[in-house]
Chains A and B, each alone.
Chain A
């Protein structure tokens, strides 16, 4: 059966571009285009100037950010001042822990160049996963994979951290 196609003049090219970008975001890997569309309408867009702070370490986190255009640095305050943890390009995301808990941000995010970000607010995300179990399972699975990656990276950087973490498979007390 031929797939239904909307006439060209009814299609919003900007939405299509965003959909294409969302397909490449690892957090949303495995979601169908239709499911990504449901997610897309929940997003806000915000432009940032070069050097502008997106959020500060210690601030309450309420949203996930996806880089649409530009470049963003993630930094953390240390003994010798602020040091860069990562530089993110279009398709990358940050602030994902805000989707899980209400804890303060553990790093600062800053735009390196004029950037556009898509913002997914926690409450909108909660609404989405509440009504769509397939989306919930996929996104949560991807989120867990990302968190597992962070744990492994942290353990590799500091072997003493392994002693403070519960053994795999055991629930923390």
Chain B
């Protein structure tokens, strides 16, 4: 016969048997805290996005501030001088490049006949070229009227969001002012914020906290600076290549390719696709289209083998499947910004988890892995 075990009554319950309030385990408090934090972040997501973009800008500029600090120049002076310098450079660049870019955009958008008609004509010319070489391919292509209708419907659908985008222009303009503004103060007071946190951290956690902070700082800083450098090189290479091939709007397409490159996987396809579309409309032939395709393939290989290895590759050590999964999830959750931020976010999580697991392993008393044959594991000092 088995005896059923009665639940234990705590000693402090007293004679009445009433169980006193037992505080919930720390894991529940943590979970509730995190849930509240996520809720606050969600409610103020627009401000959070602005702050994230400002932090991104601050990360890009921070190495220059550190250079000034290394020769004992006051941080505030260095940041102010840098912002004045960058602002001045931007004004000079805009003075020379904006009229050209504006001319390219105007020429692209206000051409007559309409964009759809020009695209249809170009596709027709390419189809004829293919059919002249391979008559059997005729049955693969739809009738011209059907193709035009489909093309028109597609372009109408794609451009239907444009009025919404125009409506967001005020937000974009506000962002253009607020992002540098926040970035300025984040950069200027960065050390004070870190010092404030350091002074409040309990001593036993300081090494792990500094380690975690350093990993986050290093990963995000390297990733964002690498991304900016990568985009700059890709944009310049694309603009130069397109100009050499005689494709219209090389500056605009180069700038678009450089910016689109920030989105993993999808970016190069978007940049190359846009350039091929313009080449198709301009040349109405397969040859130049092939040249543009080859140019973008060359840039992609160069990017993967040389540029990324020297820039982003040093900061991101994610498995390709994890990389793809994080980009897809980020895209689903937060759109374009989510796709760009997914990689550094997952990299930071990976590095921080490694550090915390290592600490937990030490706390659990598990011996550290042997550093290697022949290495003395017993150090003499701390």
Contacts and interface: CB of A to CB of B under 8 A. Distances in A.
Interface of A: 6, 9-12, 15-16, 19, 34, 37-38, 40-41, 44-48, 52-63, 74, 85, 94-97, 101-109, 119, 121-124, 127, 147, 150-151, 154, 171-173
B198 A46 contact: yes
A10 B195 CA distance: 21
Interface in B38-94: 66, 69-75, 77
B382 A109 contact: yes
Contacts of A34: 70-71
B98 interface: no
Contact of A94 (B77, B204, B210, B381): B381
Interface stretch (B175-183, B249-257, B371-379): B371-379
Contact of B210 (A63, A107, A173): A63
A10 B74 contact: yes
A60 B362 contact: yes
B132 to A, nearest CB: 58
A16 B359 contact: no
Nearest to B376: A172
B380 A150 contact: yes
B382 A6 contact: no
Nearest to A154: B380
Contacts of A107: 381-382
Interface string B201-230: 101101110110011001000000000000
A41 B362 contact: no
Nearest to A63: B207
Nearest to A53: B203
B117 interface: no
Nearest to A75: B382
B153 interface: no
Given A12-B73, A34-B70, A62 B380 contact: no
A73 to B, nearest CB: 11
A53 B205 CA distance: 11
A124 B379 CA distance: 22
Contacts of B377: 103
13 contacts: A12-B69, A12-B73, A41-B66, A41-B70, A44-B210, A55-B207, A60-B358, A60-B359, A63-B211, A85-B381, A94-B381, A107-B381, A119-B206
Nearest to B203: A52
A9 B81 CA distance: 14
B140 interface: no
Contacts of B358: 60, 102
B218 A105 contact: no
B194 interface: yes
B73 A173 contact: no
B343 to A, nearest CB: 19
A128 to B, nearest CB: 11
Nearest to B363: A59
B199 A46 contact: yes
Contact of A103 (B75, B203, B211, B379): B379
B155 to A, nearest CB: 49
A172 B70 CA distance: 41
Contacts of A124: 214, 218
Contacts of B72: 6, 11-12, 15-16, 19, 37
A125 to B, nearest CB: 10
B368 interface: yes
B354 to A, nearest CB: 11
B218 A59 contact: no
Contacts of A12: 69, 72-75
Interface in B338-368: 358-359, 362, 368
Contacts of B199: 46-47
A102 to B, nearest CB: 6
A38 B70 contact: yes
A95 B374 CA distance: 23
A101 B368 CA distance: 11
A144 to B, nearest CB: 13
Nearest to A41: B66
Sort A-B residue pairs by CB-CB distance and give the 6 closest, nearest first. A37-B70, A107-B382, A150-B380, A15-B72, A62-B211, A121-B214
B362 A104 contact: yes
Contacts of B210: 44, 62-63, 119, 121
B204 A101 contact: no
Contacts of A44: 194, 198, 210
A41 to B, nearest CB: 4
A19 B71 CA distance: 9
A37 B71 contact: yes
A103 B371 contact: yes
